[in-house]
Structure 1
């Protein structure tokens, strides 16, 4: 997957993607060495060999550098590319498998470090709600598109919120990522939450 976001892009767009990745990589390295709170935007910019103003062209804040999930758009694109006859949850499951099974080991490690930061840094946990709302909106639009419904469809939005909540509920502070655990949570969702009956 490492090259997938660059497919069909021109030189300028590829360079921007690489710069964004460098900024994030250097930030994650500094967070691991110094701690999230002790790392400044200026330190990240210096490590990435850019100016602070360039940093803010790529990320509106240090929080957003961690919170924004670069894999969501890839997952939604894969979700939308599933054949129309495939049930929505099956399409979603396949898109999740595509993303996580195609990550290079270093990409997976970076994503796990990002998730760990979100779970363990109080200000990131508090700020995550806005990013979850963005994820729900992105998924809801994809669900509505697959069902030929309007983008602001209530049922698509409720469905997306329930799916994201189900996956989030399967994770906890000590949770080490497992695709199998996420898929098991979706199976529980698809089965109508029989435990609650």
Structure 2
């Protein structure tokens, strides 16, 4: 087979693997939210994804690995690019709001829904939260780097670290509420909450 013919086949195979992996983790997160992590079995996840348990273990050698969200609908690169592209006159929170609107608007509806479901599950399922503390810390550090660069400050500046901590707190509150309101729009709620942070939280 010619090299030009082999490359598309290999690319298609990798895309199919990525889609299968994503589908397995998406169903796992849904079941963890509905039934709890401890009560959810690999057999239930396999049935929900319409695969065999052996297929689940091929992608995730243990049930615990389904908790790790690194790479599952990650928006890190898209957020970094969109944040850097925001007009320089925007403050950090305004730039972050515009960034999140732009990034989510560019996602296909199914991917947008899956990302928001991922974030709700991360907050709602204790085992997910504890398994991804490192991911959250890295996200805070990256947001701090972006904010510091925009404001021409050191990422360790207390103002930068306070702002990123406040953003995390806002997001946690929004996604906790979203877990109790399946008909709500977490993206719109997050934007509204960040607008209050942007305005200095007037009460």
Q: Would you say same fold, with TM above 0.5? A: yes
**1:77 matched to 2:81:** yes
Cα displacement (A) at 1:153:
3.4
Cα displacement (A) at 1:142:
0.6
Work out which of the residue numbers 171, 180, 188 in structure 2 matches 1:174.
180
Q: Residues of 1 paired with 2:121 and 2:52: CA distance?
A: 21
**1:39 matched to 2:39:** no
Work out which of the residue numbers 172, 179, 200 in structure 2 matches 1:192.
200
Count matched residues. 181
Is 2:42–2:53's contact at 8 Å kept on the other side of the alignment?
A: no
**1:20 matched to 2:18:** yes
Q: Residues of 2 paired with 1:150 and 1:14: CA distance?
A: 43
Question: Partner of 1:193: helix, strand, or coil?
Answer: coil
| Structure 1 gap segments, 5+ residues each | 1-9
Question: Partner of 2:90: helix, strand, or coil?
Answer: coil
Q: Residues of 2 paired with 1:21 and 1:160: CA distance?
A: 32
Question: Partner of 1:70: helix, strand, or coil?
Answer: coil
Is 2:174–2:186's contact at 8 Å kept on the other side of the alignment?
A: no
Q: Residues of 1 paired with 2:155 and 2:54: CA distance?
A: 38
Work out which of the residue numbers 49, 55, 65 in structure 1 matches 2:69.
65
Identify the residue that residue 114 of structure 1 maps to in structure 2: 118
TM-score by length of 1: 0.70
**1:165 matched to 2:139:** no
Q: Residues of 1 paired with 2:121 and 2:70: CA distance?
A: 8
Is 1:23–1:48's contact at 8 Å kept on the other side of the alignment?
A: no
Identify the residue that residue 130 of structure 1 maps to in structure 2: 134
Is 2:67–2:128's contact at 8 Å kept on the other side of the alignment?
A: yes
Identify the residue that residue 27 of structure 2 maps to in structure 1: 29
When the two chains are superposed, the root-mean-square deviation of aligned CA atoms in Å is 3.6
TM-score by length of 2: 0.68
Deviations 1:67-90 (A, max 9, x none): 955013312221112132322222
Q: Residues of 2 paired with 1:14 and 1:73: CA distance?
A: 23
Cα displacement (A) at 1:159:
1.4
Question: Partner of 2:113: helix, strand, or coil?
Answer: helix
| Structure 2 gap segments, 5+ residues each | 1-6
Cα displacement (A) at 1:49:
5.8
